[in-house]
Amino acid sequence: MLQSIFAIFLFQLVGEVLQKYFALTVPGPVIGLLLLLLALLASDRFSNLAATKVKQSLAATAETLLSHLPLLFVPIGVGVVMHVAALEGQLFAVLGVIFIGTVLTVGFSALLMEKLQGRGSRNGG
């Protein structure tokens, strides 16, 4: 458990340093995600007992960390409610744009994805 937490923190740390050093727009944790994914995929090349154990431990830690992911957004969400006055008179128009735009985007993307996947499987992909 502790080793897995250390590994996850370490990948984030490397991600944050790379982000700052190269002034990237992609956030540090996302870079950490990509690096960890690459490391895991690379580890497939030499499958031994130690690697399998590390992965099992990582999987257990990730499950704990991700099981209540929405909770982690509460503090920043409260900030939005407290600072919503920044939108002044345009609040309802902005909310309207966000609501309609988000619902349309979810619908469009899901239907497109489903259609493309369906076609892929018919072609045997």
Partner 1 sequence: MADEQKLYSIWVYLQAEPLFWLTLTIGAYLVGDFCYRRSGLFALFNPVALGIIIVSAVLLMFDIQYERYFDGAKFIHFLLGPATVALAIPIYGKWKLIRQHAGAILTTVLLGSCFAILTTWALASLFGLERDIVLSLLPRSVTAPIAMGVAEIIGGIPSLTAIITIITGIIGAAFATFTLDLLRVTNMSARGFAIGLASHGIGTARAMSRNETAGVFAAVAMGLSGIVTALIVPLMIFLFNI
Site for partner 1 in 54-113 (CB under 8 A): 58-59, 61-62, 65-84, 86-87, 90, 93-113
Instruction: Tell whether residue 1 is a contact of partner 1 (CB under 8 A).
Output: no
Contact 87, 94 (CB under 8 A): yes
DSSP 8-state symbol, 45: T
Please give the Cα distance from 28 to 81 (Å, whole number): 26
| Amino acid making up residue 63 | E
Please give the Cα distance from 102 to 96 (Å, whole number): 10
Instruction: Tell whether residue 53 is a contact of partner 1 (CB under 8 A).
Output: no
Q: Which is nearer to partner 1, 49 or 88 (CB)?
A: 88
CB of 85 to partner 1, least distance (A): 10
Q: Is 38 helix (H, G, I), strand (E, B) or coil?
A: helix
- Binding residues for partner 1, rule CB under 8 A, total 73
Contact 31, 18 (CB under 8 A): yes
CB of 43 to partner 1, least distance (A): 9
Instruction: Tell whether residue 27 is a contact of partner 1 (CB under 8 A).
Output: yes
CB of 82 to partner 1, least distance (A): 4
CB of 7 to partner 1, least distance (A): 9
